[in-house]
Amino acid sequence: MPRDDLARKPAWVEGDMAAEIPAESHIRVLVCVTGQKTCERLIQEGARIAEQLDGKVSVVHVAPKGAAILGNHREGEALEYLFRTADDVGADMTVLRAGDAMDTLVAFAREQQVDCIVVGTARGREGGDFAERLRMRLPNVEIRSVYAQ
């Protein structure tokens, strides 16, 4: 794990969500959302994980550099909805602008010292290319894929 206070393997790797987490540590869960209201399920899953581990959840959206974030009515409405959803579960939501979403997300995850990242994945993609690339770039971070319903 990225922090010294987690000397042992994280509990979720072995299936028991809280067994090996030191009581004084605070697990950091980061939820990655796109500009779609259906990402609410990701925020709910991140909040569930954080609650089980007595951790903290935060939400991030990476917008393409140069794109109008709220210029697209549907995406703007979805992001406002996701901000409210994040607030409802006690999470902060950050919107970042980037030319490369993967590089930006990896840097942000390292800066925030996250322990677990929750991402959405389309059914039939075996964890998804995005999730797999995250796993390769952040080998000490648990990557949780939540499948579309």
74: left (phi over 0), alpha (psi -120 to 50) or beta: alpha
pLDDT tens-place string over residues 9-57: 344 434 444 444 444 568 999 999 998 999 999 999 999 999 998 899 9
What local confidence, expressed as pLDDT, does residue 66 receive?
78
User: What letter does residue 7 receive in the DSSP assignment?
Assistant: -
What local confidence, expressed as pLDDT, does residue 89 receive?
96
What local confidence, expressed as pLDDT, does residue 41 receive?
95
Helical (H) or strand (E) element with 95 = strand 92-98
What local confidence, expressed as pLDDT, does residue 10 receive?
45
Helical (H) or strand (E) element with 134 = helix 129-137
Pick the CATH number of 26-147 from 3.40.50.300, 3.40.50.620, 3.40.50.720, 3.40.50.1820: 3.40.50.620
* Predicted TM-score (pTM) of this structure: 0.80
Q: How far apart are CA 130 and CA 134, in angstroms?
A: 6
Give the angle 110-107-43 at the CA atoms, nearest 5°. 75
Residue 53 backbone phi and psi in degrees, to 5: -105, 10
pLDDT tens-place string over residues 112-138: 999 999 999 876 555 458 899 999 999
What local confidence, expressed as pLDDT, does residue 117 receive?
97
Q: What is the mean pLDDT of residues 75-96?
A: 93
User: Where are the chain's structural domains?
Assistant: 26-147
Residue spans of alpha helices (H) in the chain: 11-14, 40-52, 73-88, 101-112, 129-137
Helical (H) or strand (E) element with 117 = strand 116-121
Higher-confidence residue of 60 and 14: namely 60
**Which tokens go with 119?**
């991402």
Q: Which of 33, 127, 47 is nearest to 80 (CA)?
A: 33
What local confidence, expressed as pLDDT, does residue 19 receive?
44
